Amino acid sequence: MSSSPAVSSSATTPPIVQAQALGPLWPTMDPFLFCAHHDDAYPAGNGAFAPAVSLEDRQIGSDFSRKDGWSMYHGDTVPGFPGHPHRGFETVTLVRKGLIDHSDSLGAAARFGGGDVQWVTAGKGIVHSEMFPLLNATEPNPLELFQIWLNLPARNKLVEPHFTMLWNERIPRLVHSDAAGRATTVTVVAGAVPGAPAPLAPPPESWASQPEGDVAIWTLRMEPGAQWTLPAARGQGTRRMLYFFVGDSLRVGPQEVGQHAALELVAGQDWLLTNTGATAVECLLLQGQPIGEPVAQYGPFVMNTQAEIMQAMNDYRLTQFGGWPWPEQDPVHGTEARRFARYPGQADEERPGAAA
């Protein structure tokens, strides 16, 4: 256990199995592979979607420096992640602030942000680009998101790729007021929450679509002093991580947590959460039944064996996973700050607010 925050306990069953300090990459547990919290204070744009400041002293093509509070990542002029392949798992992108432009080898495209969630099943192989266009040329362009990788079981490693958008306006939420009238808001990306509307359907081949998966992806916002009971997971053996990343302090059952941390919780019991600080608390919860299979990973390929990794690399060299239908590796979808999605093989665009 590394850099654990101060935690006090009582004679009751401790809810926190272990606590780890939050760094650039957050610790995860099977069935999750990866979790990153990007929070970039991008400056005004230059009218061509790029920062209106010098990029000197940055390692262009691989800039994770957070110089001046932001990074270019793998972008050359526009920040972001130009076309790159994936196989064998899923990416779930929750955007809290700012806009992302998605393009992929299926021909799908989207501009999303402000609470939207993009969910991509890579399956047998997809190439996609995620760029962060700086549309505002007179004001800063802040961007904040979670990038989560969810594994696929062996039987689904080579399913057909799938792209979907979960629009902010359609994502269900539970707003709970405690006895003192203090609110906790739970945003339900996946996995049912008692009292909230049913979650939107995850991709059909996702571990989150399998009843035995017991997958949950929730975000929580608690007003100062608010209390809410985190319900027990359904499945025996389900594991759960609560990432406390905004706020002063949080109490989980009898245990006080005084600094931001990834908290592995006992998943099979209800636990009373209490915001014990003077500011709002925010958390991300990731939960699931472990897939329990070997994991072989090489960069963007996640399979079960090294032989399958070699096959993935060879397949990508030969097929480019269907090719790249875009004229550049880092497409940007225009100057209008509108959110939309265009699905593979469709000419019409879906926009948030339209009928589901």
Q: Indicate whether 305 belongs to any domain.
A: no
Reduced to 3 states (helix: H, G, I; strand: E, B; else coil), residue 315 is: helix
Edge-to-edge order in the sheet of strand 261-265: 16-21, 261-265, 239-246, 281-288, 216-222, 183-190, 173-177
Closest CA relative to residue 270, chosen from 252, 294, 283, 293: 252
Read off the pLDDT of each residue in 40-51 and give the average, rounded to a whole number: 98
* Residue 144 labelled as part of a binding site: no
Same domain, 137 and 233: no
How far apart are the C-alpha atoms of 30 and 287, rounded to whole Å? Answer: 9
CA-to-CA distance for 222 and 283, rounded, in angstroms?
9
**Across the chain, what does the average pLDDT equal?**
95
- Please tell me whether 162 is known to bind a ligand: no
Assign residue 48 the CATH number of its domain.
2.60.120.10
Residues 163 and 187 in one domain: no
* Any domain includes 100: yes
Give the integer Cα–Cα distance in Å for 327 and 330. Answer: 9
- Per-residue pLDDT at 4: 41
Q: Report the greatest alpha carbon distance in the chain.
A: 63
Nearest residue to 289 (alpha-carbon basis) of 203, 214, 192: 214
Q: What are phi and psi of 314, to 5 degrees?
A: -65, -45
**Gap between the Cα atoms of 100 and 122, Å rounded:** 18
Q: Which of 262, 288, 314 corresponds to the end of one domain? A: 288
pLDDT score, position 354: 62
**Burial state string for 197-230 with b = 16 or more CB within 10 A and e = fewer than 16:** eebbebbebbbbebeebbbbbbbbbbbeebbbeb
Domain identity same for 79 and 122: yes
Contact assessment for residue 123 and residue 204, using Cβ atoms and an 8 Å cutoff:
no
Phi then psi dihedrals of residue 331, to 5 deg: -60, 145
Beta bridge partners of 146: 37, 94
**For 225-251, what is the mean pLDDT?**
97
Q: Mind spelling out the 3-state secondary structure of 257-312?
A: ECCCEEEEECCCCCEEEEECCCCCEEEEEEEECCCCCCCEEECCEEECCHHHHHHH
- Please tell me whether 260 is known to bind a ligand: no
Final residue of a structural domain among 263, 288, 313: 288
Is 37 a known ligand-binding residue?
no
Domain-located, residue 117: yes
List the single range of 106-115, 246-255, 346-355 with lowest mean pLDDT. 346-355
Looking at the domain assignment, is residue 205 inside a domain?
Answer: yes
Neighbouring-strand partners of residue 177: 183
The answer to whether residues 83 and 135 belong to one domain is: yes
Domain match, 35 and 136 both: yes
* pLDDT for 110: 97
In this prediction, residue 322 carries a pLDDT of: 92
Lowest-confidence pick of 3-7, 241-245, 304-308: 3-7
The band of 185, judged by pLDDT with boundaries at 50, 70 and 90, is very high
For 6-98, strand residue ranges (E) read: 16-21, 32-42, 80-86, 89-97
Domain that holds residue 236: 172-288
Last residue of a domain, one of 168, 196, 225: 168
- 142 and 260 share one domain: no
Q: Are residues 142 and 197 in the same domain?
A: no
Same domain? For 157 and 232 the reply is no
Report residue 240's pLDDT band, with 50, 70 and 90 as the boundaries.
very high
Cis amide leading into 211 (omega within 30): no
Quick: pLDDT tens for 73-90: 999 999 999 999 999 999
Residue 13: which pLDDT band, with cuts at 50, 70 and 90? confident
Give the whole-number percent of the chain exceeding pLDDT 90. 93
| Cross-strand pairs, 240 | 265, 287
Structure tokens at 126: 């997809």
Query: Which residues neighbour 106 within 8 Å (Cβ) at sequence distance 6 or greater?
Result: 126, 161, 163, 322, 344
- Within its chain, how far is the Cα of 219 from the centroid? 10
- What tokens does 195 get? 């009292």
pLDDT at 59 over 50: yes
Tokens 């009582």 found at: 10
- Give yes or no for residue 336 having a pLDDT over 50: yes
For residues 301 and 312, the answer to whether their CB atoms sit within 8 Å is yes
93 and 186 share one domain:
no
Domains: count for the chain: 2
Residues 278 and 229 grouped into a single domain:
yes
Clarify whether residues 102 and 140 are in a common domain.
yes
Query: Quick one: 270 and 153 in the same domain?
Result: no
In a domain, 108, yes or no: yes
Look at residue 268 and tell me whether its pLDDT is greater than 80.
yes
